[in-house]
Amino acid sequence: MTMAKIPNHIANFLNLPETLLYYYTGHRFRRTSATLLVHGGGDSIQLKRHGGWKSSTVAEGYIDSDMNDKNETSKNILRVREETGSSNNDQEHAPDDKYLFMKVALIIGISGACRKQELRNIKPSDIQDTGKNLIINIRDSKTKRQRSFVVSEYFYPN
């Protein structure tokens, strides 16, 4: 399985309509990450640094407007359940023995607004475990600019 196909596999797992599968490509990680950052209060400088964009116009083009849809998609993909144990989806939790690779790629891809090539190029030496979170360095990017990002405690439970 290639990095570009992971969002499509996730969409299949969620039984999304086949007519929408073309929409779920590797580029979805970057769009979702940019949208979450801005809707979470990030400014244009943070957005440009996060995605490695030089132009505000290009960076702003990655922001999607329907945040409710993004939140629902994220909950469905990660199978986040409310404390009450209720869920809008009766499907089983995606088991790690089958879906761990997709989960890791999804978390890193969205947390870092990663391009497919950047995900492929991450080496173990690019990941620092602080005990509370992960710091991931992106060395080889399309823009030739090194950057790093954090996978926070939400995805890194102790």
pLDDT (tens digit, 9 = 90+) per residue, 73-116? 555 555 443 333 444 444 457 777 777 888 888 888 888 888 88
Q: pLDDT tens digits for 24-72?
A: 777 777 888 888 888 888 898 999 988 888 888 888 888 875 555 555 5
19 has a pLDDT exceeding 80: no
Q: Which pLDDT band, with edges at 50, 70 and 90, does 125 fall under?
A: very high
For residue 20, tell me if it sits in a domain: yes
Q: Helix 28-39 crosses helix 44-51 at what angle (to 10 degrees)?
A: 150
The single-letter DSSP state of residue 155 is: T
Q: How confident is the model at residue 145 (pLDDT cuts 50, 70, 90)?
A: confident
Using only C-alpha atoms, the chain has a radius of gyration, in whole angstroms, of 16
Domain membership of residue 127 (yes or no) is: no
The answer as to whether 135 is a domain residue is no
Q: Is residue 7 part of a domain?
A: yes
> Quick one: DSSP state of residue 91?
S
Asked if residue 86 belongs to a domain, the reply is yes
Q: Classify residue 42: in a domain, yes or no.
A: yes
What is the SS3 assignment for 143? coil
The answer to whether residue 24 is domain-embedded is yes
Structural domain including 64 reads 3-121
- Confidence tier at 158 by pLDDT (50, 70, 90): low
Classify residue 133: in a domain, yes or no.
Answer: no
* Phi, psi (rounded to 5 degrees) for 137: -100, 135
Residue 106: how many other CB atoms lie within 10 Å: 21
Domains identified in the chain, total number: 1
Q: What is the DSSP string of 30-86?
A: HHHHHHHHHHTT--HHHHHHHHT-S-HHHHHTT--S-HHHHHHHHHHHHT---TT--
Please give the structure tokens belonging to residue 55: 């132009």
How far the first Cα of the chain sits from its last, in Å, is 30
What is the model's pLDDT at position 6?
Answer: 77
What confidence score (pLDDT) does residue 85 get?
47
pLDDT computed for residue 99 by the predictor: 79
